[in-house]
Each structure stands twice: as structure tokens, then as C-alpha cells.
A = this chain, B = another copy of it.
Amino acid sequence: MPDASRRSERSRSAILRAAVALLEEKEYADLTVEAIASRAGVGKQTIYRWWGGRGPVVLDALIDHLGPDGPPSLPDTGDLEGDLRLVLRAIVAELADRRLSATTRALTIETLSSDEFAERMRDRLLRPQLDTIKERLRAARAAGQVRDDVDLDHAVELLIGPAYHRWMMRTGPLTEGYADDMVDLALTALRPAAVRSGAAGGAADSP
């Protein structure tokens, strides 16, 4: 690798690490290209030249932060409902927090504004995260806890789509109770009929 490439690669890494560090410390509104450049020890023109602006550099920083292996698998305790409640509660808690969700808000605006950004965001950041839920559902299906005829991508969207809609449109509070209720509804749709009527009967009989 020639020196110039090595230097570029070092600067690129420094910029991405600076962006992640600032994301953890600051409000998204204060996360300017200037602040990233200053922390990384590069000129802000370098960032504009390589990325064009704040959104794309933040996206690359988050992708870089995920690492080559992507996000860790979800826990599989055998209790599908319990495992999914933890996932959805975590998503809902993040969306409910204005500071934590500011990055998601900014990335969603960029996604709605640019095809190129949307594809990179989907393929490199979102899909790996959705796939962790899909793999947990696949294991549940192998264990007879999810219907064989369900499209697992649809199942993932059934679980998380309502929370994102509520967040985006601000149509109601994002609480733990909401997360649990949406897991309950989704699992009622996803369970095999035999398991479902058993569970529904049990729930109806309980005091």
C-alpha cells in the first residue's frame, strides 16, 4: 500500500472513530462536520470531499462500529415471548428517548431524501439488525413455536413496524406496556394454530 493510501486509510478511520465518539457524547444537533474533523485531526474539507456531508459520514461510522461480523445474535433462552419482549422494549426505549433517537431521526430523513443513502443504510446497517430478529424467529420456527407458512421478513415487520410508525407519526406513547402488547399481538399471529388456541385459552382462563 503506498504511503498516500495508508495516510488516507488512517484519516478515514480517525474520522469514523471521531464520529462514533461524538455520537456518544453530544446531541446530534451539535455533531457538526467541523466537530468531527477537529476531533479526528483532519480538515473539514476532507470530510466534505469524501462523504459530502454529515449524514453519510455518520452512517459509515455506525457501519464501521458494527464491525465486519455485524450485530451480535439475539439471546435464545427458549422463551420466544420473553426474548422478543426484551428486543422490542429496547427498540421502543430508544425511540422514546429524544436524544437517543435523534440519530435514527436524522438517518431516516436522509433515507427518505436519497436513494443512494437509503440503499447503503438498508444493506449495511438496517438489514443486519433485522436479520438478528429473523434468525431468532427461524430458531423458534424450528422449535415449533412459529407457523411454517409465515414469511419471516413479514414476521419481523409485524413485530417492529408498528413501533416505528408510532414513533414517526407520534400517534401514541412508546412504553414498555406498548412493546409487550405488540409482541403479544404479533406472536398471536405467528404461533401455530394448536399452540395459539392453547395459549389464548390459557390467557382467557387466567384471573
Chain A residues engaging chain B, CB cutoff 8 angstroms: 105, 108-109, 111-113, 118-119, 121-122, 126-127, 130, 150-151, 153-155, 157-158, 160-166, 168-172, 178, 181-182, 185-186, 188-190, 193, 196-197, 200-201, 204
Nearest residue (CB) in B for A98 is B115
Find out whether the CB atom of A168 lies under 8 angstroms from the CB atom of B108: yes
Determine how close the nearest CB of chain B comes to the CB of A174; give it in whole angstroms. Answer: 11
Determine how close the nearest CB of chain B comes to the CB of A171; give it in whole angstroms. Answer: 6
CA distance A189 to B182 in the complex (A): 10
Partner of A166, one of B121, B161, B170, B181: B161
Q: Can you spell out 14 A-B residue pairs with CB atoms less than 8 angstroms apart?
A: A111-B168, A126-B169, A127-B171, A153-B171, A154-B178, A154-B185, A161-B163, A161-B164, A165-B165, A168-B168, A185-B189, A185-B190, A196-B196, A196-B200
Nearest residue (CB) in B for A150 is B185
Find out whether the CB atom of A112 lies under 8 angstroms from the CB atom of B109: yes
CA distance A154 to B130 in the complex (A): 21
Partner of A153, one of B109, B170, B172: B172
Nearest residue (CB) in B for A192 is B200
